[in-house]
A and B are shown apart, each in its own frame.
Chain A
């Protein structure tokens, strides 16, 4: 097998692992805080319905968290098994960030998850609430460290050379590198939206089966409201993130917008089939000077095209389509959340078609999140750490056969896990709050007291 093919396989495997992994944190980071909200509501009101709600969504959380944990363990080994050059070259910067994630976040969330899931009858109420908060804090801290590392790989600053090795000269600048605040906020909001649509979607599914379930009606509203508030904020932050990318990674923007040639008054390409070989767009539908206007806030400003960066430019096709998928999904999510809020104002019951639509949008956040990560990660190519380390130079000696075996094992395992996850989630949602526990012995109380 050609070296290039092996590299592509190794990248495909990393992409597969990280794409599978991010599905679950993108739900749990925000869901953990929503659980804190449910738990606080129960502590404040003492209403059993809030407790039921907390328990139902804790089950969803526990399952999702377990999926995230086990796929996260795979990630922690990937650096060594497939990208030894990464640690060899930038280990002095990346290593401590990963170590801090383990030390400050993983143990915290894993330990208090046990108290949160199984300790309700064993610890005082305030302690159980504290455990819930600590789990949420752990998931957010984990996102903080890993996004600090990812952002540093995108926009590395604060490092220097010592004894021929790359070391951190200023940890503060390494962590709070130029793209970090934007990426972190963008991801936290993405998690908020993903979790909100999961909650709305599963509650809608429950209401389709049991229209009188007041707990599900309440969580449907919670989910839609969170989405209606966060979605426009996300659009705004996404725009800021884009401007930040233009400043620090202009090649990524050129590929996202399919701008091949550096020009003044660059058009905004709404749709096209980019041709990588000929470096031009087919069937382009574009707004003249639109890209310059949006990105530079000046219709005649110059935008750098792929020609300014080649051959060190990312591929145009995947970026161009991923970013449109992400934005398109985001627009749909805003529209649906706002329409739902308006339609259900003053306690009006949602029509069935709207419930079906929300059920259909349960995992819409996944699509937008994955598309967004495709943009940011493929957009960094051919670099692993921008300007510091090329992806090709970090790959390990593992051959095509071993890679083939490992990818096959992962695909089978992930497929099984993902199907089971979605089946169980739908099943849990369909049962609603009446049946908490093993499904065999718990008493069946339909719905919750109003």
Chain B
């Protein structure tokens, strides 16, 4: 049996991007919620993501790295077409990343400034990612209408990250902050519902390819399981968060798991819409793929190294399991 390397690499890249969106999503979401919290709460929020953010962000580098390795022809087209939002995202991620360190070490108004930068950087990166997603799924069409669509998607992405961040806080904190996080999670869910609904409606309208894939009876009936499952995950997340606020004996990670399920389903829908295109209607994964010799060597390396990465990632999450401490640096 011959291995379809481009398909395999599409899956790997998809997993890396999904892992990035979920993992850094909760970091960015927690940061975006900072202005709504009191100062001691802010310390605890940062403490809850401090040990993880760097590794979480690395999945982005892996995602873009796999795009570059596996689909070099598409890599250049995608990143030049998304030039400005990519730059905005990078600036945002830079400000976010260094703020972790600066805000702890600075004092007075400097500290205030880095708190603001932490929020702003995270917000800028999230908005930019929304614009990138919108532009990518509409095939990089220029024009004001598409830009508006991009803003809507950006709102959805921010809402989605807020949802992840809030459910992360439900899991990793308690007391008043956890109660607040439930309310934030509900807001996030409303935004996400709006975002997913708009994207699901707009993409088939904009793209004939997507329309044909989804509206083709009787396949449509089977496909309807996806929105149905999303709806259930949505309801479950809402319900679980409410129950935890009321003190029900539910594991505190339940709402986060619900949010992750929602992400996986939305991602599956998106992947179904696009496959086998790496650039919609223009370039398939086979057309963009690198030479098999180079794919094979990366695949071999990834198969050896990935189990280790997963292993020590699990280890790190075990080391820092449970409720977050009050402050980032414990001494």
Contacts and interface: CB of A to CB of B under 8 A. Distances in A.
Interface of A: 59, 62-63, 66-67, 69-74, 76-77, 79-82, 84-85, 87-88, 91-93, 95-96, 98-100, 102-104, 106-108, 110-115, 117-119, 121-123, 162-163, 165, 167-168, 171, 396-398, 402, 405-406, 409-410, 413, 417, 420-421, 424, 427-428, 436-442
Contact of B72 (A87, A406, A437): A87
Interface in B31-55: 50-52, 54-55
A66 B97 CA distance: 6
A424 B55 contact: no
B259 interface: no
Contacts of A413: 91, 94-95
A330 B72 CA distance: 40
A236 to B, nearest CB: 35
Interface stretch (B57-65, B139-147, B200-208, B273-281): B57-65
Interface in B279-331: 290-291, 293-294, 297-298, 301-302, 305-306, 309, 312-313, 316, 319-320, 327-331
A81 B61 contact: no
25 contacts: A63-B101, A66-B97, A77-B79, A84-B75, A84-B80, A87-B72, A87-B75, A91-B75, A100-B298, A100-B301, A102-B62, A104-B301, A106-B58, A110-B55, A111-B316, A112-B312, A119-B319, A406-B87, A409-B87, A409-B88, A409-B91, A410-B91, A413-B95, A424-B102, A442-B331
B197 interface: no
A93 B293 CA distance: 10
Contacts of A442: 331
A99 B107 CA distance: 39
B50, B55, B77, B107: which has the most chain A beta carbons within 10 Å? B55
A167 B294 contact: yes
Contacts of A117: 50-51, 329
Nearest to B306: A103
Contacts of A441: 327
A111 B312 contact: yes
A229 B322 CA distance: 47
A92 B69 CA distance: 7
Contacts of A72: 61
Interface of B, helix, strand, loop or mixed by DSSP: helix
Contacts of A417: 94, 98
Given A88-B76, A118-B320, A69 B51 contact: no
B309 A95 contact: no
A69 B329 contact: no
Contact of B291 (A62, A100, A165): A165
Contact of B294 (A71, A96, A108, A405): A96
Q: Which 7 A-B pairs have the closest CB atoms?
A: A84-B76, A80-B79, A91-B72, A114-B51, A95-B69, A92-B294, A70-B97
Given A80-B80, A85-B76, A92-B293, A424 B105 contact: yes
Given A84-B76, A87-B75, A111 B313 contact: yes
A398 B80 contact: yes
A102 B65 contact: yes
Contacts of A66: 54, 97-98, 100-101
B250 interface: no
Contacts of A167: 291, 293-294
A95 B83 contact: no
B84 interface: yes
A103 B55 contact: no
A162 B86 contact: no
Contacts of B293: 92, 162, 167-168
Given A162-B293, A165-B291, A438-B327, A103 B52 contact: no
Given A95-B298, A165-B291, A168-B294, A70 B93 contact: yes
A223 to B, nearest CB: 21
Contacts of A114: 50-52, 54-55, 316, 319-320
B105 A103 contact: no
A338 to B, nearest CB: 34
B58 A115 contact: no
A122 B319 contact: yes
A77 B90 contact: yes
Contact of A171 (B94, B101, B297, B327): B297
Given A84-B75, A108-B309, A436-B331, 9 more contacts: A73-B90, A76-B65, A92-B293, A95-B65, A102-B65, A110-B57, A114-B52, A397-B80, A410-B91
Nearest to A82: B80
Given A91-B294, A114-B316, A409-B91, A420 B98 contact: yes
